[in-house]
């Protein structure tokens, strides 16, 4: 069966510090991978998605970047965090045929202070 791991669960970072959130998927190959941000317990904003290694699509211009160095690894980064980067970050995966739905990790609560 497939599993998704996302860490850390919580993170408190000072303004101006770098960020690296990692997500890995097990039990499937060539998944689509996603990073979403959820502010204040409300809607999910799609930040990045990837259909393959090194292929990153950005949905919203911002202070963040994403990378996919391996097939089942997706990394969200920032060089200098802003207060507005605080939120709940969720990683997810999907495939195309048969199971088009996304499956989510448990999320990372990021607080920038």
Site map (CB under 8 A) of other proteins, residues 34-53, x = contact:
x-x----xxxx-x--x-x--
**Distance of closest approach, residue 9 Cβ to other proteins, in angstroms:** 9
The single residue among 23, 76, 105, 112 that binds other proteins, judged by CB under 8 A, is 105
Cα–Cα distance measured from residue 50 to residue 85, given in angstroms and rounded to the nearest whole number: 21
Structure tokens at 53: 């290694």
Q: In this chain, which stretch among 15-23, 64-72, 74-82, 104-112 interacts with other proteins, using CB under 8 A?
A: 104-112
Of 13, 28, 32, 58, which one interacts with other proteins (CB under 8 A)? Answer: 32
User: What residues between 61 and 100 interact with other proteins by CB under 8 A?
Assistant: 88, 90, 92, 94, 96, 100
Residue in the structure block whose two tokens are 């060539």: 30
Residue closer to other proteins, measured from CB, 36 or 78: 36
Burial of 70 from C-beta contacts in 10 A (0-12 / 13-18 / 19+): exposed
What is the separation, in whole angstroms, between the first and last Cα of the chain? 38
Question: 3-state SS of the chain: helix, strand, coil percent to 5?
Answer: 5, 55, 40
């Amino acid at each position: 069966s497939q599993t998704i791991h996302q860490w850390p669960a919580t993170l408190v970072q000072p303004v101006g510090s770098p960020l690296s959130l990692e997500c890995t998927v097990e039990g499937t190959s060539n998944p689509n991978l996603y990073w979403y941000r959820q502010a204040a317990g409300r809607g999910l904003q799609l930040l990045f998605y990837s259909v393959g290694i090194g292929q990153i699509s950005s949905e919203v211009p911002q202070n963040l970047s994403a990378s996919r160095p391996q097939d089942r690894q997706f990394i969200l980064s920032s060089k200098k965090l802003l207060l507005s980067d605080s939120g709940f970050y969720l990683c997810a995966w999907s495939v195309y045929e048969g199971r088009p739905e996304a499956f989510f990790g448990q999320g990372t609560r990021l607080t920038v202070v």
